[in-house]
Amino acid sequence: MGNLRRVPVGIVGASGYGGVQLIRLFMDHPDVEVVYVGGDSSAGKAFGDIYPHMAHTVNLKVEAVDVDAIASRCEVVFLSVPNGLACQLAPKLLEKGCKVLDLSADYRFRNLTTYTNWYGKERNDAETAATAVYGLPELYRDRIAESQLVGCPGCYPTASLLALSPLLKQGLIVPESAIIDAKSGTSGGGRDAKMNMLLAEADNSLAAYNVGRHRHTPEIEQICSELAGHEVTVQFTPHLVPMVRGILATVYANLRDPGLVRDDLITIYRAFYRNSPWVKICEAGVCPQTKWACGSNVCYIGIEVDPRTGRVIVMSVIDNLIKGQAGQAIQCMNIMMGWEETLGLPKLGFYP
Amino acid sequence: MGNLRRVPVGIVGASGYGGVQLIRLFMDHPDVEVVYVGGDSSAGKAFGDIYPHMAHTVNLKVEAVDVDAIASRCEVVFLSVPNGLACQLAPKLLEKGCKVLDLSADYRFRNLTTYTNWYGKERNDAETAATAVYGLPELYRDRIAESQLVGCPGCYPTASLLALSPLLKQGLIVPESAIIDAKSGTSGGGRDAKMNMLLAEADNSLAAYNVGRHRHTPEIEQICSELAGHEVTVQFTPHLVPMVRGILATVYANLRDPGLVRDDLITIYRAFYRNSPWVKICEAGVCPQTKWACGSNVCYIGIEVDPRTGRVIVMSVIDNLIKGQAGQAIQCMNIMMGWEETLGLPKLGFYP
Amino acid sequence: MGNLRRVPVGIVGASGYGGVQLIRLFMDHPDVEVVYVGGDSSAGKAFGDIYPHMAHTVNLKVEAVDVDAIASRCEVVFLSVPNGLACQLAPKLLEKGCKVLDLSADYRFRNLTTYTNWYGKERNDAETAATAVYGLPELYRDRIAESQLVGCPGCYPTASLLALSPLLKQGLIVPESAIIDAKSGTSGGGRDAKMNMLLAEADNSLAAYNVGRHRHTPEIEQICSELAGHEVTVQFTPHLVPMVRGILATVYANLRDPGLVRDDLITIYRAFYRNSPWVKICEAGVCPQTKWACGSNVCYIGIEVDPRTGRVIVMSVIDNLIKGQAGQAIQCMNIMMGWEETLGLPKLGFYP
Amino acid sequence: MGNLRRVPVGIVGASGYGGVQLIRLFMDHPDVEVVYVGGDSSAGKAFGDIYPHMAHTVNLKVEAVDVDAIASRCEVVFLSVPNGLACQLAPKLLEKGCKVLDLSADYRFRNLTTYTNWYGKERNDAETAATAVYGLPELYRDRIAESQLVGCPGCYPTASLLALSPLLKQGLIVPESAIIDAKSGTSGGGRDAKMNMLLAEADNSLAAYNVGRHRHTPEIEQICSELAGHEVTVQFTPHLVPMVRGILATVYANLRDPGLVRDDLITIYRAFYRNSPWVKICEAGVCPQTKWACGSNVCYIGIEVDPRTGRVIVMSVIDNLIKGQAGQAIQCMNIMMGWEETLGLPKLGFYP
């Protein structure tokens, strides 16, 4: 299909949800071949032992994490590892000429002090980190195209920033008034056995968590500040919802111009995302459902203006594991490789 | 237990979720006997035909709605009927000496113009409506005690107002900054066959609805205005969550005094609700789960202060069908009858 | 991609779950173009008004059902309509030269008396019905290849028959001992607003229904009888499970030869399905999860033998809306057109 | 209510689901006071730290497990501990005069070899075990009344045996034809963090597990054999369903007398359970929902006869944590104490 050869890609951390999404998504990518999957606890296992339903289509063995081996075989490497590990692997892989896309938090921050404050880990790779680009293509497409190292956004920041960016960029809202009430399915917590994530505990229930102190807050604020042109503090509250996949960010902000109506904002959003094939602005009056986005790389955005309060309410939904994680990373890779950013990514899941 | 006789009670609208909760709750009430259940479409049926699992414990037949018959047999009547019907029944029942508790929206508004604006129905029972008390005992215990007609609050307003009242009453927040991001299980939509409420549609998904125009907004604003001492407009956004029961209201507001810390507010809330046995203020750092409240009449409230933004975030959870509907109505009845307001109501559901 | 032109296809009954699956699946099919979608209640609507999340990718308008118009534009027509309607449309479409795939029950029965007994409708298209082939490719691949009219199997029969066929065909079990305990997500009930299918009713719960009298019983028995070479009666019990998609059929039967062990049967199944790319036999000891199959056309089969009881237990999982409905219909069409039967169909959904 | 004093009760293993049900259920029991709760990992914690929503109603501290201390304070002791621990505690507690109800598997077996074969643990308390009574009151009410040690049934055996007992006791079926296809919510797996029990893994999915080798099989067979009067082997297959609470056992068996019709069997079941207040036989044609039983100690049984196959199909639903565990244990205690067996137990949960 076009390219003479498939680009050899490696994935470190293949057994978690990030890894399995990457492998599944690459099955439909015409120009990529996964030639390496690596892991610690799962090294030596066939991938089909970890995910039995994939045994008939994925013939990969999880290998130990050996930077030399990876670099010798892979042109592009995805790091789907716990925070604090990517920053040990990335410098070496870059040095050996790989392009690196990190799905952890390690390369999301311009200011490593922020990282250290929120993630509690000292960093000694400042030089590498300075070259990293924040992997939200709708905002940083050009920089991503030229980068060797992309720090892919968190799932909450993706939904939140796609909702907020047009407002901040155009100066339409009072930045400090922004409140993000975000709701996520429990797959965001990963494939780790945690008591509070058991179906018996989390089903039929709903709660906020980490109020005022979730680690995605500084990531959101960093980009908001850049868009606003000054330091911005936002309110961010995550909630766990009894479903597997999907994030809805309901974003509130005070409009500077009380005369703006919903249709104005829909027009502005459509213009802002004109060249962003993965963002869809809903018709007036439509509230997006998280399920619409599940199984696809699409972000659906619904917009309301409440003339009684002078606020705009923006609703943004994504599949937290695709546009919020693995799909977005592949979208970034597409851009780094000079391909169409839609290449090989799912446009639509199955409904219902 | 004490009383020589049980008070005879009637329920109009027995087949919906409001009705079945009332009947179930009264099974455990020591001083009440349900002597009449009425309905239109279900008239003539045994209650056990509508809810087969209750056949062995509930021996009631649904009767036609006949005001004279009801009044002759019942001392207290609960109206669990669609909006616009209660205002036809209540005046007659009151005239015949019944105490009336209305679970619909008909008697929640001091200003009937507000009702007509939001519910689209003209009213000609202004005199009766003027005697109605808003059935939120935590705020209006004394008035309820002396009333013959109680307009029981909606489920969202109950969760929202219990979260906001201490802040507004004590003047701790800028009232106009209040934002209520509310999330509900789908039983709030009632037992009507609606396509969007099918499990196949609503499960695994999440969305806002009626943004900026949900009918519970004026109800919340009416009480907030009374507490603040001036007209207050609030932002209220409801969401549907893939679970059966439970509401979480996440409430945001700007603190007037930036020096207030979380422990101050916990102290203030505990004092405010000192005599309210159904409101429990969580320990510092605890976010309440909706499941905690399910099957009980309890409202759990968690409080956070974000010193970075100067905001308070209050999380309030209830069982939408008990404290948000039938349980609260019984709590009001208890007060009207001069009983303990906890009488016969469940303190705790089953976990998990 | 290969073919010079895409085959023009029509779908009658586009707004239900069968229709939306067909449209979604055809988006990924390289050799088909959907040129017509028809419906009664939805005629005149844009497809994106019925399923808003698809508005950006599907640019189709629902048209009235006009056989002449359909036949003039479509080479192949899928009927996704209520039982009893397909038998009115199919004869005319066939006469005009269309190939027809019916997703309803109308063309599943060799003996129309059986149809009339179970579906309560007289038929006067016996001649047409006699030409229909039962659309289970794993059993009737050759006949499907030569047919103009395919009666696509029900969802339960698909899962049940794929589990039972090797046993019956090889004479390994006592046919009358077969018991099928089947469990389905609620999307099997379609997109009709039914009270018992509300999330508030069906979530957190589980029950059997139509025990001993579900309409899929005669369909299963017809094929079992053909495989066994004599009339076979089976026990079939469907259950509703609180999830959207997926069917698990747990099948029990007494082995004729008590010496057979699990590995023998795995070998036999693998041989039986050697040329069936959509059936995957699990490794010994693995019980398939319905979620594995969701979003794909795959049927996973797990096999156990209980030497204590002399029974075989076969577990078969499918996505009820894909392999159990629309995907299987496309698989049949692929065969009718002389294409690979895997063409354009999803091999794997997203996990988790 | 009547008794001059409340019986002092102790619970060993208070932090798991069995423990929390016992504590919750005893809150409504008029004649019992929980005076001791013990645990290993949770010793020293307030119970409200483990289950925060109960902090306002339960004022208990988890204590270390000290047999002397327990025996000196408790008249009755419930053991809600892992298999293999109860058999170390029970002999000492019995010796000191306590009545003991064990919720684990340790005292369910008449033949300790069976226990050792299935649970892999040698036993040296044969003398004590010989005095244990199997705690299914509907079958062994009289023996329970006189016992000091009750081995409470597993959740699956409770549902299965209540479905099968009348058939076996009256000789109505061919015992070896019995097949139990059982489905359970995931709370049956306990409050342990296991990867496969995560909501992200278990939701939207369904599968069988431990086919042909679940440990509840010998327990079911032991009682079936006693009822049948000879050794009986049954087929038992458990499934995990994406819900929190509830078990449905769908039981199949061949009728000896093909002339028996559904109404005959309903009559026979009603007679069999005439004195069993916790078993409710559904009207003809009604399939019980697991949700009906949740939050109560009731077992609902629905019965069908399929004249085509000569089989009876019995559907039995319980709340796995109440009638399947803690509620049944209290029912046994009520009998041991000479009280009404319904005392203090919930007759009905909340619906929906």
Q: pLDDT, tens digit, for every residue of B264-276?
A: 999 999 999 999 9
The span from the first CA to the last CA of chain B, in angstroms, equals 31
Do A197 and D198 contact (CB within 8 A), yes or no?
yes
Separation CA C310–CA C308 (nearest Å): 6
Judge whether B57 is closer than 8 Å to chain D, CB to CB.
yes
Which DSSP symbol is given to A207? E
Rounded CA-CA distance B47/B24 in Å is 12
The complex's ipTM works out to 0.97
Q: What is the 3-state secondary structure (H, E, C) of chain B?
A: CCCCCCEEEEEECCCCHHHHHHHHHHCCCCCEEEEEEECCCCCCCEHHHHCHHHCCCCCCEEECCCHHHHHHHCCEEEECCCCCCHHHHHHHHHHCCCEEEECCCCCCCCCHHHHHHHHCCCCCCHHHHHCCEECCHHHHHHHHHCCCEEECCCHHHHHHHHHHHHHHHCCCECHHHCEEEEEECHHHHCCCCCHHHEHHHHCCCCEECCCCCCCHHHHHHHHHHHHHCCCCCCEEEEEECCCCCCEEEEEEEEECCCCCCHHHHHHHHHHHCCCCCCEEECCCCCCCCHHHHCCCCCEEEEEEEECCCCEEEEEEEECCCHHHHHHHHHHHHHHHCCCCCCCCCCCCCCCC
Residue C34 pairs with which residues in a beta bridge? C9
Instruction: Give the distance, in angstroms, between the CA of residue B313 and the centroid of all CA atoms in the same chain.
Output: 22
Which residues from D are below 8 Å from A201, CB to CB?
A: 191, 199
Amino acid at C218: P
The answer to whether the CB of A155 falls within 8 A of the CB of A217 is no
The per-residue pLDDT for A1 is 43
Tokens 């104490």 correspond to what residue?
D337
Nearest C-alpha neighbor of A169 from the set A241, A237, A72, A268? A268
Per-residue pLDDT for A309 more than 80?
Answer: yes
Tell me which chain A residue has its CA closest to the CA of residue C204.
A204
Q: Is D204 on the interface with A (CB under 8 A)?
A: yes
* Tokens representing residue B239 in the block: 């969401």
Are D148 and D77 spatial neighbours (Cβ–Cβ below 8 Å)?
no
Q: Return the bridge partners of A62, or none.
A: A37
Residue by residue, DSSP assigns D296-350 as SS-EEEEEEEETTTTEEEEEEEE-TTIIIIIHHHHHHHHHHTTS-TTTT--S---
Residue C319 · residue C295 · CB < 8 Å: yes
Residues A79-90, mean pLDDT to the nearest whole number: 96
Kindly determine whether residue B290 and residue A245, on different chains, have CB atoms separated by under 8 Å. no
Query: What is the structure's pLDDT at B5?
Result: 85
DSSP string, C84-121: TTHHHHHHHHHHTT-EEEE-SSTTS-SSHHHHHHHH--
Please give the Cα distance from A328 to A293 (Å, whole number).
Answer: 13
| Residue in B200, B237, B243 nearest the CB of A242 | B243
At B323 the pLDDT is 98
Thinking of the domain D7-131, which architecture would CATH place it in?
3-Layer(aba) Sandwich (3.40)
Give the nearest chain D residue to B327 (CA atoms).
Answer: D350
End-to-end CA distance of chain A: 32
User: How would you classify the pairing of strands C247-254 and C179-184?
Assistant: antiparallel
Distances (CA, A) of C192 to B88, C186, C197: 33, 11, 9
Query: What is the spatial distance between Cα A162 and Cα A281, in angstroms, rounded to a whole number?
Result: 11
CA nearest to A241, candidates B237, D204, D200: D200
D203:A17 CB<8 A? no
Contact C102, C79 (CB under 8 A): yes
Half-sphere exposure of A65 (CA within 13 A, CB side): 20
**Alpha helices, DSSP H only, in chain A?**
17-26, 47-50, 67-73, 86-95, 112-119, 126-131, 137-145, 155-169, 199-202, 216-228, 262-272, 290-293, 327-336
Distance CA(A129)–CA(A109), nearest Å, equals: 8
Beta-bridge partners for A76: A9, A99
Do D53 and B300 count as a contact with CB atoms less than 8 A apart? yes
| CB of C347 less than 8 A from some CB of B | no
Task: Count interface pairs A-C at CB distance under 8 A.
Answer: 84
Q: Maximum CA pair distance of chain A?
A: 63
> Is D155 part of the annotated catalytic residue set?
yes
Q: Is the peptide bond before B277 cis (omega within 30 degrees of 0)?
A: no
Say if C315 is an interface residue toward chain D (CB within 8 Å).
yes
Q: What is the pLDDT of residues B38-76, one digit of tens each?
A: 999 899 999 999 999 999 899 999 999 999 999 999 999
Taking the CA atoms of D325, D326, D327 and D328 in sequence, report the sign of the dihedral they define: positive
Residue A146 pLDDT > 90:
yes
CB-based contact, A57 to chain C, within 8 Å: yes
pLDDT by 10s per residue, chain D, length 352? 445 689 999 999 989 999 999 999 999 999 999 999 999 989 999 999 999 999 989 999 999 999 999 999 999 999 999 999 999 999 999 999 999 999 999 999 999 999 999 999 999 999 999 999 999 999 999 999 999 999 999 999 999 999 999 999 999 999 999 999 999 999 999 999 999 999 999 999 999 999 999 999 999 999 999 999 999 999 999 999 999 999 999 999 999 998 999 999 999 999 999 999 999 999 999 999 999 999 999 999 999 999 999 999 999 999 999 999 999 999 999 999 999 999 999 999 999 9
Distance CA C329, CA B58 (A): 49
Q: Which residues of A touch B209 (CB under 8 A)?
A: 287
User: DSSP assignment, residue A102?
Assistant: E
From edge to edge, which strands make up the β-sheet containing D179-184? D207-208, D235-240, D179-184, D247-254, D311-318, D299-306, D279-281
Judging contacts by C-beta atoms under 8 Å, the chain A residues touching residue D195 are 191-193
User: Collapsing DSSP states into helix, strand and coil, what is residue A252?
Assistant: strand
| Per-residue confidence (pLDDT) for residue B3, from 0 to 100 | 53
Residue D338 sits at φ, ψ, to 5 deg, of 80, 15
Contact C241 D242 (CB under 8 A): yes
- Please classify residue A130 by burial: count the beta carbons closer than 10 Å to its beta carbon, then call 0-12 exposed, 13-18 middle and 19+ buried: exposed
Taking the Cβ of residue C17 and every Cβ of chain A, the question of whether any pair is shorter than 8 Å is answered with yes
pLDDT of amino acid D14: 86
A86-117 b/e with 16+ CB inside 10 Å = b? bbebbbebbeeebbbbbbbbbbbbbebeebee
- Identify the CATH number of the domain defined by range A156-320: 3.30.360.10
Test C288 with A53 for CB contact under 8 angstroms: yes
Statement: residue C232 has pLDDT above 60: yes
Question: Domain-by-domain residue ranges, chain A?
Answer: 7-131, 156-320
Kindly report the backbone phi and psi dihedral angles of residue B96, in degrees, each rounded to the nearest multiple of 5, phi listed first: -90, 10
What six digits make up the tokens of A39? 């892991």
Instruction: Assign domain B155-320 to a CATH class.
Output: alpha beta
Question: What was the pLDDT predicted at C3?
Answer: 53
Structural Rg of chain A based on CA atoms: 20
Q: Would the CB atoms of A193 and D194 count as touching at under 8 Å?
A: yes
| pLDDT value, residue A14 | 86
Question: CA geometry: angle at A41 spanning A40 and A47, to 5°?
Answer: 90
Interface membership of D26 toward B (CB under 8 Å)? no
Residue B127 exposure: Cα atoms within 13 Å on the Cβ side: 4
Other CB atoms within 10 Å distance of the CB of residue B188: 23
Rg over alpha carbons for chain C, rounded to the nearest Å, is 20
Distance between CA atoms of residues C39 and A184, nearest Å: 36
pLDDT digits (tens, 9 = 90+) for B121-170: 999 999 999 999 999 999 999 999 999 999 999 999 999 999 999 999 99
**pLDDT on residue D2:** 47
The tokens describing A242, both together, are 């009894």
The answer to whether residue B204 neighbours chain C at the CB level (below 8 Å) is yes
The separation between CA B227 and the C-alpha centre of its own chain, rounded to angstroms, equals 18
Q: Chain B residues with CB inside 8 Å of D321's CB?
A: 350
> What average pLDDT does the segment A329-343 reach?
98
Distance CA D333, CA C81 (A): 58
- Taking the mean position of all CA atoms in its chain, how far away is CA B153? 4
Sequence-separated (6 or more) residues with CB below 8 Å from residue D16: D80, D190, D191
Tell me which DSSP letter residue D61 carries: B
Give the integer Cα–Cα distance in Å for A100 and A135.
Answer: 11
| List of residues 6+ apart from D210 with CB closer than 8 A | D238
Chains with 3+ CB–CB pairs under 8 A to B are A, C, D
Q: Phi and psi at residue B166, in whole multiples of 5°?
A: -60, -35
Proportion of chain A above pLDDT 70, given as a percent: 99
Q: Is A314 exposed, middle or buried (0-12, 13-18, 19+ CB in 10 A)?
A: buried
How much is the average pLDDT of C260-269?
Answer: 98
Catalytic residues of A, by residue number, are 155
User: Tokens in use for A240?
Assistant: 């766990």
Contact indicator for A17, D200 with CB cutoff of 8 Å:
yes
Tokens of residue C247, six digits: 């069917």
Q: Strands, DSSP E only, in chain D? A: 7-12, 32-38, 62-63, 76-79, 99-102, 133-134, 149-151, 179-184, 207-208, 235-240, 247-254, 279-281, 299-306, 311-318
Tokens coding B26? 């009264």
Determine whether the interchain pair B53/D295 forms a contact, defined as Cβ–Cβ distance below 8 Å: no
